[in-house]
Structure formats: C-alpha cells, structure tokens
Chains A and B, each alone.
Chain A
C-alpha cells in the first residue's frame, strides 16, 4: 500500500488539493448565499418568504449528483462553457447553501423574537436589526451545525469525480483502474478525506461542549 501511495503521490496530492480548494470555495459562497436565503425566509414580505422557501426546498430535495450533472452537461450547451471542477463546485455551493439557509434560519428563529421587536422599536430598520442584533447571536448558535455542514461539504465534494473534476475521488478512480489495487487505493483515499474531516469534527465537538 505504501508503494501505491509513493508511486501515485503526485496524483493523490493534486486530487487532495482540488478537493480542498473546491470545498473552501463552495463553503465561502454557500455561507453567503445560504445566509441571504435564510434572511429572505424570515422577512416580513410574503414574496420574499416564498422565494426563499422555494429555493431551499428545491435544492434540498434533489440529489447533489443530479444538480452537478445539470451544471456540467446542460449549462455549457446553452449558456457558458464551464469545466468539471467549476460545474462541480457550483453544484456543491448551491446544494450546500440550501442546507446552510435552513441551519441559519433555525438559528435566527431561536433568537428571541422580542429582540427584533425591541430593535425595531429603537428605530432600527429590519436590515440593521438583522445585521447588528439578530445575526451575530444566530451565528453563534449555529456554529456547531455549520461545522457539520462543512464536513458534509468536504465529503460531498467526491461528487466532482462524476464530472471529471480532478478531485481526490476522481484521481482514486483513475489510480484504481490502472493499478488494479482497488481496495488499497480507496483506503488511501479515505485516509486523505479523514485528514480534512476528522480534525474539524473533533473541533466542533469540543466547541459544542464549550458552548453547552
């Protein structure tokens, strides 16, 4: 197994790099998009709530693989040419943002309603109250679940393999099919994933205990 790792070191490392890059980019954008839709879902305007809801429900209830395939195969036909890595990362971002929206929304909801009312009574606008009073508290509450979302995101990035996204799983498939050492290859791939996900998971458990 060590020989397999050494022989294919550059492939594994480049796959690892693409996986990390894709996860970080997707995390960044899905946090922004997710928070925006979470706010839409709690806005006073009914139209905004419906838009937020529809977005979240659609993307939460369709497999990531289907969303990613759509961006890889359909968008280039009619809109703009994007490669597998970009398509995969966009798919990941949209899928994850729906989950983050749900998480953040539940965070906002668990901040006492009185606080929003009090801030509005003080003359703050909805957005000001959101920005300065509600969101900071909400984010604190949802840090552990957001951490779990990030772990899911890293794991889900394996879907890039389906669209030639050069990630860890894609490289793993390529190595397995030339070396014929299927099981060993995937054990190594698994270890690479754990290097990213286990520390985050333990850190989140630690945080959870500290906050509790």
Chain B
C-alpha cells in the first residue's frame, strides 16, 4: 500500500511541476517590445478575423485581408525595414486588451477607438482612422436618428464602446450585446431589436449585402481608431507613430482607403482621406 501511495504522489507532483514550468519568465514591463521585434524581425498584430473590408480571413487561402491588415503590413515595413514581417493573431473586441496586456500580441489594430477609459490600461498611437458611430435600421423604419432609440431595443457586439455611447445619448434604449456584428445584424433582422448600432464603417460593410437596411441620422460620435500598445513601451510607440506618419506622407494610406472603401454605398471615403 505504501509504495503505491508514493508512486501516485510522485506522479502528481511531477504533473504540478510540469504545469507550473512555464512560469517564471521575465515580466512584460521589463521587456522592450521594439528591441524584441527588431531581433525577431517580426511585429505581432492583433487583428479582426470576421470584419469585412477591415480584417476578414479569406476562405480561399486562410489569409487575413482588409484595410487594417494592409495598414499593419505597411507600418511594419516602415518600422523594421523592407524585410520586416507582420504576424497576425485574430482577436475579438472582447479578447484584444487582455491579449495585449498578457503579451500574446505586440499591438492591436482592430477597430479600437481611443477612449479615456482604455487609456488607463493601455497606450494608443496617433489615430489612424476616423470613424463615427451610427445606426442601421430597416428601410421605412420610424427611427430617424439616435434620439428615436429611447424605448427601443438596439443590437450591438460585446466589448465595443458603442454600448456605452448609446447608454449616454439615449438612456432609455435597451441594448442587446451579441458575440459578433454579423450576429447583431441577424438579431436585428429576426426582430430581436429595432436598430443596430456601431461604427459607420462597420455598418456600411454589413449593409452592402443587405439592401433592405440603411444607415440613418449620420454619425453622432467621433471614433478615432488608434493602435493599442502596452504601457511603458515608449520606444515602440514612437516607432509606430513615425511609421504611421510615413505611410500617410508617401500616399500609401490614401491608396489603401480607396482600395477598401472606394465603393461602399453609404460611406463617403473622401471624409477619411489624409493629407
């Protein structure tokens, strides 16, 4: 009996050690992300996987494609040089900040607005895109602007700040948070809500395939998207900002805007071009 006990004890303690073995590497705050990335010649970006025009995996080859993907690649080349590699990790609105703080990714470029609340936990680059929150309704709906949402049910996605904005502007609106924007739209179509809200650029992408629905009331917030970076990574932030400036200056930025948003009905791409 005794020997059996020792054997089991040994096995479990071994297991425990194995599970804890990963612990004890250097804490993130003492690492320099820019140096690490230069050494590996790679920047790891957190991007969207299911957002048309912005960041969507192509079912043909499994590659991420979209405006933010192209922009991330362009910035990577400016930061690390021509041969710099951009690695993509797909994130959701919910998982992006924990993953950044944990160090799974170096930077977030995933339709994330620069907000004071978020600034408390992470840093942002300069804004790389100016979106604005808007609402999408069925054609012929009585909802004409955000004020009409009071007393109505609005769908959106978990983890986006659109929900907070609605609470502020139309406090009597009921908000349903779905796991992703396509589901939020489908919930709207199946009558779970009377309107859907989030940033205009996302809504425009969704409306392309659904001619029975339209954006109303224009934008009622400004949502400057920024690249999320960990606190205490000043060098990396500077390098990203410099890269972004260069991408805008040499015209790459405007080319990308035209490529992805040039033909989206309900979205005026000229408003977001940069000089």
Contacts and interface: CB of A to CB of B under 8 A. Distances in A.
B98 interface: yes
A72 B94 contact: no
B252 to A, nearest CB: 33
B93 to A, nearest CB: 7
Interface string A81-111: 1011000000000000000000000000000
A173 interface: yes
A163 to B, nearest CB: 8
B224 interface: no
Contact of A73 (B97, B159, B163, B187): B187
B177 A164 contact: yes
B190 A74 contact: yes
Contacts of B118: 180
B178 interface: yes
Interface in B178-206: 178-179, 183, 186-187, 189-192
B177 A77 contact: no
Nearest to B122: A180
B176 A178 contact: no
Interface string B154-169: 0100110001100000
Contacts, number: 52
A81 B191 contact: yes
Interface in A129-178: 162-164, 170, 173-174, 176-178
A182 interface: yes
B250 interface: no
Contacts of B189: 77
Contacts of B178: 162-164
A74 to B, nearest CB: 7
Classify the interface of chain B: helix, strand, loop or mixed: mixed
Interface residues of B, number: 24
Contacts of B191: 76-77, 81
Contacts of B192: 72, 76, 81, 83-84, 164
Nearest to A174: B177
A182 B189 CA distance: 31
A76, A83, A164, A170, most chain B CB atoms within 10 A? A164
B94 A73 contact: no
Contact of A180 (B121, B163, B183): B121
Contact of B94 (A74, A81, A84, A173): A173
A72 B158 contact: no
B209 interface: no
Contact of B158 (A75, A84, A173, A182): A173
Nearest to B99: A182
Contacts of A177: 93-94, 158-159
21 contacts: A72-B187, A72-B190, A73-B187, A73-B190, A74-B190, A76-B191, A81-B191, A83-B192, A84-B192, A162-B178, A162-B179, A163-B178, A164-B155, A164-B192, A173-B158, A173-B159, A174-B158, A177-B93, A177-B158, A177-B159, A180-B120
Interface of B: 93-94, 97-98, 117-118, 120-121, 155, 158-159, 163-164, 176-179, 183, 186-187, 189-192
Given A81-B191, A170-B177, 18 more contacts: A72-B190, A72-B192, A74-B190, A76-B190, A76-B191, A77-B189, A83-B192, A84-B192, A162-B179, A164-B176, A164-B177, A173-B159, A173-B177, A177-B159, A180-B97, A180-B120, A182-B97, A183-B98
